[in-house]
């Protein structure tokens, strides 16, 4: 989603400037017109400042919960924003809320003020806050956003924590490989070369790997850097990204986890918005942005078109083949019982629990896999060095 700087005139003829995140310039024009502003100039904005960076999703979500608690206690919105802006423990976040309070004090909607800080507030948060302001249930939306963000932060932390030990094993494996091919193999190479005779293919392969680490180490490093640069460049291509997403979704072990994570996010977002009386089509559009997977986003977009034409939500989601059968069945039952919001939130909770168990299983599989790879490398080197010695011994005999 691009970022645009705009200049517009309000109903009193005053010039207003700001920043909006939107897919196209036409979307910016539509948003300005919905605010009763007449566009004067709209230009794409270069990458924003890093001032809002460093604010974690958990910290932002906790601030939503705190603001919701203040609203529930009867504190006016402006006063609540100023209170959050006066905190000294988190100066970056406090500065953001001071900025929001200044704009709200001038009569700007909270969602509009948040949209101008797209380096802090994701578009999906802005859309949900806007729906809450228009529907009169801002407190509930903020509470839901906070709970949702904290839950996602917990899941993300669990995923990262589960991969720490395999990552340490991988680093150790690379270090062991460097020592073996950079120090150990060269010491034996001269001895084996003096023995004469034809060396086995596995020995020549190990010597080639040793040369790549020692003699041609600089060229190997350059080749790796070019490969990484090429992958990063390709990752910016939409078609390549779709292929990667397709691989991630269909891959064994990883695929089910990726689908489960995206499904949980979708169900959480859609259930939260339906529970807050956001219309289905609007909720689907917003939930699509938060799915975090290109293929599932495409499936949700197709589902939105099907719902617009009068179909049930479960039917197009089932046709995509990306959602589990039990999830589809629960969505179908929720639509039939007219309590889809409750069902979606329950589905999200169930999937998160299932995902937690899946992460534990995947982690347990990764650890022995890394150890097996390290063992195979060591065994290959050992065979490469022992076979020539065994051949020479048999020739002498």
pLDDT of residue 232: 81
Specify whether the CB–CB gap between 17 and 5 falls below 8 A: yes
* 159 Rama sector, left if φ>0, alpha if ψ -120 to 50, beta otherwise: alpha
pLDDT of residue 87: 80
- H helix runs in 195-293, sequence order: 201-213, 217-235, 238-250, 254-275, 280-289
- Spatial CA neighbour of 111 closest among 84, 83, 144, 138: 138
Task: Encode 162-199: b = buried (16+ Cβ within 10 Å), e = exposed.
Answer: beeebeebeeebeeebeebbeeebeebbeebeeeeeeb
Give me the mean pLDDT over the 98-121 stretch.
Answer: 86
- Helices 138-179 and 123-135 pack at an angle, to 10 degrees, of 170
Specify whether the CB–CB gap between 375 and 190 falls below 8 A: no
CATH number of 150-397: 1.20.81.30
Specify whether the CB–CB gap between 41 and 49 falls below 8 A: no
Task: Encode 369-386: b = buried (16+ Cβ within 10 Å), e = exposed.
Answer: ebeeebeebeebbeebbe
Query: Cα(270)–Cα(283) distance, rounded to whole angstroms?
Result: 6
Three-state DSSP class for residue 323: coil
Query: Cα(43)–Cα(317) distance, rounded to whole angstroms?
Result: 37
Element (H, E) at 2: strand 2-9
pLDDT surpasses 70 at 191: yes
Give me the mean pLDDT over the 170-177 stretch.
Answer: 85
Give me the mean pLDDT over the 104-109 stretch.
Answer: 87
Percent of the chain residues topping a pLDDT of 90 = 8
Segment 53-88, tens digit of pLDDT: 557 788 888 999 999 999 999 999 999 999 998 887
Query: Helices H, strands E: what count in the chain?
Result: 17, 3
Q: pLDDT averaged over the chain?
A: 81
pLDDT surpasses 60 at 49: no
φ, ψ of residue 44 to 5 degrees: the values are -60, 140
Specify whether the CB–CB gap between 307 and 284 falls below 8 A: yes
Query: Cα(124)–Cα(289) distance, rounded to whole angstroms?
Result: 7
Give me the mean pLDDT over the 202-220 stretch.
Answer: 86
pLDDT surpasses 60 at 52: no
Specify whether the CB–CB gap between 110 and 138 falls below 8 A: yes
Tell which wins on pLDDT, 163 or 379: 379
Query: Cα(113)–Cα(19) distance, rounded to whole angstroms?
Result: 9
Domain ranges of the chain: 2-44, 57-121, 150-397
Query: Cα(213)–Cα(202) distance, rounded to whole angstroms?
Result: 17
């Amino acid at each position: 989603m691009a970022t645009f700087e705009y200049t517009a005139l309000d109903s009193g003829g005053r010039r207003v400037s700001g920043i909006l995140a939107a897919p196209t310039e036409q979307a910016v024009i539509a948003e300005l017109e919905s605010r009763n502003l007449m566009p004067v100039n709209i230009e794409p904005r270069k990458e924003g400042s890093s001032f809002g960076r460093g604010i974690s999703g958990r910290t932002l979500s906790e601030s939503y919960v705190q603001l919701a608690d203040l609203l529930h206690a009867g504190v006016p919105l402006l006063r609540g924003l100023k209170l959050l802006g006066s905190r000294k423990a988190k100066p970056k976040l406090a500065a953001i809320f001071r900025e929001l309070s200044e704009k709200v004090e001038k009569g700007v909607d909270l969602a509009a003020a948040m949209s101008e800080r797209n380096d802090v507030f994701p578009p999906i948060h802005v859309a949900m806050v806007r729906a809450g302001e228009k529907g009169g249930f801002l407190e509930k939306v903020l509470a839901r956003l906070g709970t949702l963000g904290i839950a996602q932060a917990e899941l993300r932390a669990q995923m990262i924590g589960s991969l720490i030990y395999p990552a340490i094993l991988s680093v150790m494996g690379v270090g062991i490989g460097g020592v073996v091919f950079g120090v150990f193999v060269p010491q034996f190479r001269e001895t084996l070369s003096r023995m004469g005779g034809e060396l086995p293919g596995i020995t020549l392969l190990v010597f080639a790997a040793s040369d790549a680490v020692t003699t041609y180490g600089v060229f190997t490093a350059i080749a790796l850097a070019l490969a990484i640069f090429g992958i990063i460049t390709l990752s910016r291509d939409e078609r390549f990204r779709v292929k990667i997403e397709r691989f991630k979704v269909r891959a064994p072990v990883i695929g089910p986890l990726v689908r489960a994570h995206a499904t949980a996010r979708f169900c959480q977002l859609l259930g939260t918005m339906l529970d807050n009386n956001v219309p289905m089509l609007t909720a689907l559009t917003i939930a699509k942005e938060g799915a975090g997977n290109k293929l599932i986003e495409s499936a949700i977009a197709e589902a939105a078109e099907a719902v617009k034409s009068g179909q049930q939500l479960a039917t197009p989601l089932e046709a995509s083949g990306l959602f589990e059968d039990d999830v589809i069945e629960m969505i179908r039952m929720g639509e039939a019982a007219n309590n889809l919001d409750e069902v979606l939130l329950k589905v999200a909770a169930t999937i998160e629990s299932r995902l937690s168990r899946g992460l534990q299983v995947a982690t347990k599989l990764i650890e022995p896999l890394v150890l097996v790879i390290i063992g195979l490398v060591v065994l290959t080197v050992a065979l490469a060095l022992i076979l020539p010695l065994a051949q020479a011994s048999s020739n002498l005999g």
